[in-house]
């Protein structure tokens, strides 16, 4: 099967998000051929290069969602993102095409500005139909007459947006938008709709794949929507997080006012709903994501929860011998040690963990806390780490056994990679209880890693934590140091309970969260989708007699020799061998002559 893998700021770029998952998917399904259609997010990301691609990647097409300093847009094809009809710096649409552009953009803008009517679900009101009409109409215009870059940044676009925001039925927030607000939104809209102008929509590109698999929603899924529209290619969408929620949170950090943020929220909300409506199957990474998708219009019948696969083998030694490592020396790796692992940032709420550990020390004076991690990118995370270390020094002064000995703090901030803790598995093996104190969390990767290591866990009830734990650990409310401390003390005082929970956690993780489980799920989903997809009766999908072939590229094309010659795979079976001759095979074996 030929899969079109669609990414946005991810694979195959070395610094891309979800790159590891995509790489494992491609390498783990060698029976399929993958074409990558990748959108990049910045010049820095492109400058970091690609990861090494496996042989099952047939080709890679790329396009940027950022604008170079010279303002010249580019893509991976001859035409790239630029319109074919550009003369003198202006896009030369004819009168009819200008009218088409105005009508389609008006429909799109009206849908963005108008909220759904009360009592209608996502994707059920008239706004959803207007959005689809505008989106696909603009895509068809771009495909036939050239890209939309200059048209979307024109004065006409600003007028259309202004009229839509002033129209009856528009939301109150967007009605207050000013001309600078419309200019800012027009620039963001052009960037978001840039995939419509790509040269990927022909029989040699997305038209040649059997299935489009978008590694996230949003911009990554836009080419998949058009592949379905133009060629009938089924679309599969995988989301390990909630892209729409990420857009909402990111908008708060921009310099835009409330009107622009409302317009952007309207666009991304409509696009998300359309992606879920058109997708043949949507695979959320956990129940938390699944609920968000349903709120945005995803049909529960189309959803298949597929947990992100993680490499269990790197934690195998620690997990198989969890009890011995937990009790070693009775010190740093002993049962009285709490361990926290992750990126140090405000969302992880280490402040609450430090206050909780102060309560733990009152109940268990010999307890220790080891924090393994480094600050996340940004000045805010660096400042947060400094605040945490200062608070730890204040709450837990260095303790000395005598007047002439050096004091040692019960709380340490360490990085993985030193001689004592050379790798991540050893960090989890350094304590008897693993703690997660976050106030915001998606899929808790560190929690799954601790489960692979056979460790008992204490976690806050955020994101997909309860779903991941499944009764194999203790869960407390977030921002509650007293509850966190009580749970930690309960496990520190009960070694048998720790052992039972750790063993159950490891068994659950090996059953649900391995790479093999993830690959098996997508192997089945691929076959399910292709089995119920009508065969496209085109030159590359029918045989010489007009009968349909199962895939766009027949399996015989992968074999060397005369099988690849047109019509040879349809030749009649050879006549039976004369009597006395033992015929092992009646045709070619392994792609060569018998």
- Per-residue pLDDT tens digits for 267-300: 999 999 999 999 999 999 999 899 999 999 999 9
pTM score of the predicted model: 0.81
Q: What gap in Å lies between CA 219 and CA 593, rounded to an integer?
A: 48
- Between the CA of residue 408 and those of 302, 350, 386, 402, 518, what are the distances in Å? 56, 20, 19, 12, 44
Which residues are bridge partners to 215 per DSSP?
none
Confidence of residue 592 (pLDDT cuts 50, 70, 90): very low
Query: What pLDDT sits at residue 580?
Result: 43
In terms of Cα–Cα distance, which of 512, 511, 491 is closest to 502?
A: 491
Which residues are bridge partners to 544 per DSSP?
none
339, 431 in Cβ contact below 8 A?
yes
Strand 456-460 and strand 2-8: the pairing is unpaired
DSSP E strand boundaries for 132-242: 211-214, 235-239
Angle ∠(392,396,401) on CA atoms, nearest 5: 140
Please state, rounded to an integer, the average pLDDT across all residues of the chain: 83
DSSP E strand boundaries for 222-320: 235-239, 281-284
55, 211 in Cβ contact below 8 A?
no
End-to-end CA distance of the chain: 27
Residues 377-408: pLDDT tens digits? Answer: 778 888 999 999 999 999 998 764 555 445 57
Q: What gap in Å lies between CA 48 and CA 375, rounded to an integer?
A: 21
Helix (H) or strand (E) holding 340: strand 337-341
What is the token pair recorded at 404? 């002439």
Confidence of residue 374 (pLDDT cuts 50, 70, 90): confident
Q: No. of H helices and E strands in the chain? A: 22, 14
Angle ∠(249,296,299) on CA atoms, nearest 5: 150
Query: What pLDDT sits at residue 67?
Result: 74
Query: What pLDDT sits at residue 87?
Result: 32
pLDDT of residue 506 exceeding 60? yes
Query: Each residue of 46-75: b (16+ CB within 10 Å) or e?
Result: beeebbebeeebbebbbbbbbbeeeeebeb
CA–chain centroid gap for 552, Å, is 27
- SS3 of residue 239 by DSSP: strand
């Amino acid at each position: 099967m030929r899969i079109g893998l669609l990414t946005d700021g991810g694979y195959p770029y070395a610094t891309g998000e979800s790159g590891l998952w995509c790489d494992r998917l491609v390498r783990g399904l060698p029976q399929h051929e993958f074409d990558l259609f990748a959108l990049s997010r910045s010049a820095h990301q492109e400058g970091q290069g690609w990861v090494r691609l496996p042989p099952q990647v047939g080709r890679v097409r790329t396009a940027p969602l950022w604008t170079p300093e010279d303002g010249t847009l580019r893509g991976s094809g001859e035409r790239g993102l630029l319109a074919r009809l550009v003369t003198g710096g202006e896009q030369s649409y004819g009168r009819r095409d200008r009218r088409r552009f105005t009508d389609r953009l008006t429909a799109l803008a009206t849908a963005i500005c108008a909220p759904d009517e009360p009592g209608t679900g996502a994707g059920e009101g008239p706004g959803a139909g207007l959005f689809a009409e505008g989106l696909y109409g603009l895509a068809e215009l771009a495909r036939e007459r050239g890209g939309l870059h200059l048209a979307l940044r024109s004065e006409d676009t600003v007028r259309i947006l202004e009229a839509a925001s002033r129209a009856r039925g528009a939301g109150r927030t967007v009605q207050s938008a000013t001309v600078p607000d419309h200019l800012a939104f027009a620039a963001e809209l052009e960037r978001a709709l840039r995939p419509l102008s790509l040269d990927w929509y022909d029989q040699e590109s997305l038209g040649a794949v059997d299935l489009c698999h978008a590694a996230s929603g949003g911009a990554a899924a836009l080419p998949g929507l058009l592949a379905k529209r133009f060629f009938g290619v089924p679309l599969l969408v995988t989301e390990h997080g909630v892209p729409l929620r990420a857009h909402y949170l990111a908008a708060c950090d921009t310099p835009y006012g409330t009107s622009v943020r409302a317009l952007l929220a309207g666009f991304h909300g409509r696009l998300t709903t359309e992606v879920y409506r058109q997708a043949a199957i949507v695979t959320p990474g956990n129940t938390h994501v699944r609920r968000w998708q349903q709120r945005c219009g995803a049909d529960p019948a189309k959803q298949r929860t597929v947990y992100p696969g993680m490499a269990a083998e790197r934690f195998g030694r620690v997990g198989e011998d969890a009890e011995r490592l937990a009790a070693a020396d009775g010190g740093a790796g002993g049962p009285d040690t709490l361990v926290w692992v992750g990126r140090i940032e405000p969302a992880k709420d280490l402040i609450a963990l430090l206050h909780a550990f102060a309560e733990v020390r009152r109940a268990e004076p010999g307890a220790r806390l080891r924090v393994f991690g480094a600050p996340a990118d940004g000045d805010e995370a660096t400042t947060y780490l400094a605040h945490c270390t200062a608070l730890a020094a204040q709450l837990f002064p260095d303790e000395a056994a005598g007047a002439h000995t050096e004091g040692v703090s019960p709380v340490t901030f360490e990085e993985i990679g030193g001689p004592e803790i050379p790798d991540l598995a050893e960090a989890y093996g350094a304590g008897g209880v693993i703690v997660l104190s976050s106030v915001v969390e998606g899929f808790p990767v560190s929690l799954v890693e601790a489960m692979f290591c056979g460790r008992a866990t204490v976690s806050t009830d955020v994101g997909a934590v309860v779903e991941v734990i499944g009764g194999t650990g203790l869960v407390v409310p977030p921002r509650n140091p007293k509850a966190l401390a009580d749970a930690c003390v309960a496990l520190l005082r009960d070694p048998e309970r720790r052992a039972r929970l750790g063993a159950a956690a490891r068994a659950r993780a090996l059953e649900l969260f391995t790479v093999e489980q993830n690959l098996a799920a997508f192997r089945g989903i691929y076959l399910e989708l292709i089995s119920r997809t009508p065969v496209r009766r085109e030159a590359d999908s029918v045989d010489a007699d007009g009968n349909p072939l199962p895939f766009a590229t027949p399996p015989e094309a992968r074999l060397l020799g005369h099988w690849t010659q047109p019509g040879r795979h349809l030749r009649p079976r050879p006549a039976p061998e004369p009597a006395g001759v033992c015929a092992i095979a009646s045709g070619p074996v392994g792609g060569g002559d018998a």
